[in-house]
Chain A
Amino acid sequence: MFIVIVGCGRVGSSVARGMLREGHEVSCLDEDPESHARLEVGLEKSWEDLGGQFTVGAGLEIEALVAAGTEKADVFIASTDGDNTNIIIAQIAQRRYEVPTVIARVLDPLRAEWYQRQGLHTVCPTRVAIDMLETAVRESGGRDGTPDDASEAA
């Protein structure tokens, strides 16, 4: 598959490396030329030598989206550090370029949930953290090692 990833931070760059390793074609777009270095963390060769593509530009710029190959993408991932940016560019990929699979990273659970209901695939790391923390608390024991009363009552 051909995967376009906009926003090459910790999340975007890790997903990019992982997908490339699995044999997919991966193209990254980021405003910051320096983020290219993050892509190569832990790689034995350069990103390009391994077949990766990297474009400098903003996700709202049509020229940048086209240069990154959005028109022929099978999967489009919006993982910049801005929730609103991700939601908007994901919709552009969906409506303008008709990318079959579009995923937006949205930190705010409320926005993630509403846009998910509107048919946009959102991934909400905050929601995941909330659920994990709640589960960890529920599964923890009290000072004497016994589960707490609330979980027993439930």
Chain B
Amino acid sequence: MYIIVVGAGKVGWNLARELLEKEHEVTLIESDRRRYLTVEQELEHNVSYGDASELWVLERAGVQRADMVIAVTGDDEDNMLICQVAREKYLVDQIIARVNNPRNRQHFDLLNVKPSVSATDLILRLLEHEVPEYGLVHLLDLQEEQLEIIEMLLGKDSGLIGRRVGDLSMPEGSLLISVLRSGKGFVPSADTVLEEGDEVLAVLDPGKEDDLKRLFGPEGASANGG
């Protein structure tokens, strides 16, 4: 594949290096002259000097024949613009944009610059995974398809312990797909009785997390009329 990476900061430089090792053709574009000269000592002709939000700089890098454009500069506006132009003007199939400020993610979505990656969000996800009190862990987000798969641990205070799966009133737009018990997973039937320490996997529409958290929390039983 021919991949253009914009921004030779730590992320861009390492990314370019890894992609080259995987034998992709790579052009890394950097607009800061000093940074460019540093990176050029290692990556030589694979790095190009210029501001990639200037269309002629992208064209000089061969954006028309690029299979993928990855914008990882430290500036969200630049990343959005570069990816938007790459996809809509130069018809590049695949784009990936870095989100520096997670609050800007909504703008990336609004302009249809997807997928976008935010290190802050990723670390928050990891935190959810490592710190059980967060309760609900995202296993998979399919942004395009508007689906999420989450995992929840049934703590000892969960109102659902001892209840039949068939009796749960799962929020609309969510489905219990699996139960992990003592390290083994199985697909629950209506007669499966939930136990303390069960980890349940559910697929749901985005935005249903809070409903699920309530259901599986201490008030869950009353929410179910029990």
Question: Do B106 and A62 touch (CB < 8 A)?
Answer: yes
Checking B53, B88, B110, B111 against A111 with a beta-carbon cut-off of 8 angstroms, the contacting residue is B53
Q: Number of A residues contacting the other chain (C-beta, 8 Å)?
A: 18
Question: Do A110 and B77 touch (CB < 8 A)?
Answer: no
Question: Do A60 and B55 touch (CB < 8 A)?
Answer: no
Measured between C-beta atoms, what is the minimum distance from B196 to chain A in Å?
42
Q: Is A96 an interface residue (CB 8 A)?
A: yes
Q: Is B56 an interface residue (CB 8 A)?
A: yes
Question: Do B76 and A60 touch (CB < 8 A)?
Answer: yes
- Contacts A60-B104, A84-B77, A84-B81 known; A92 to B55 CB distance under 8 Å? no
Q: Inside 8 A of B80's CB, which chain A residues have their CB?
A: 84, 88
Q: Is A5 an interface residue (CB 8 A)?
A: no
Question: Do B55 and A114 touch (CB < 8 A)?
Answer: yes
Question: Do A110 and B55 touch (CB < 8 A)?
Answer: yes
Q: Inside 8 A of A96's CB, which chain B residues have their CB?
A: 110
Q: Number of B residues contacting the other chain (C-beta, 8 Å)?
A: 20
Q: Is A3 an interface residue (CB 8 A)?
A: no
Q: Is B30 an interface residue (CB 8 A)?
A: no
Residue from the set B55, B77, B88, B103 with the largest chain A CB neighbour count within 10 Å: B77
Measured between C-beta atoms, what is the minimum distance from A24 to chain B in Å?
28
Measured between C-beta atoms, what is the minimum distance from B106 to chain A in Å?
7
- Contacts A60-B77, A87-B81, A114-B85 known; A95 to B53 CB distance under 8 Å? no
Nearest CB in chain A to that of B77: its residue: A84
Q: Is A82 an interface residue (CB 8 A)?
A: yes
Nearest CB in chain B to that of A63: its residue: B103
Within 8 A of B (CB), among A78-109: 82-85, 87-88, 91-92, 95-96, 108
- Contacts A82-B77, A84-B81, A110-B56 known; A92 to B110 CB distance under 8 Å? yes
* A-contact 0/1 string along B35-71, CB 8 Å cutoff: 0000000000000000001111000000000000000
Q: How far does the alpha carbon of A95 sit from the alpha carbon of B89 in the complex, in Å?
A: 19
Question: Do B110 and A85 touch (CB < 8 A)?
Answer: no
Q: Inside 8 A of A83's CB, which chain B residues have their CB?
A: 53
Given A60-B101, A110-B54, A118-B88, 18 new contacts (CB under 8 A) = A60-B77, A60-B107, A61-B103, A62-B103, A62-B106, A84-B75, A84-B78, A84-B80, A85-B77, A88-B77, A92-B107, A92-B110, A95-B111, A110-B55, A111-B54, A111-B81, A114-B85, A114-B89
Residues of B within 8 A of A (CB): 53-56, 75-78, 80-81, 85, 88-89, 101, 103-104, 106-107, 110-111
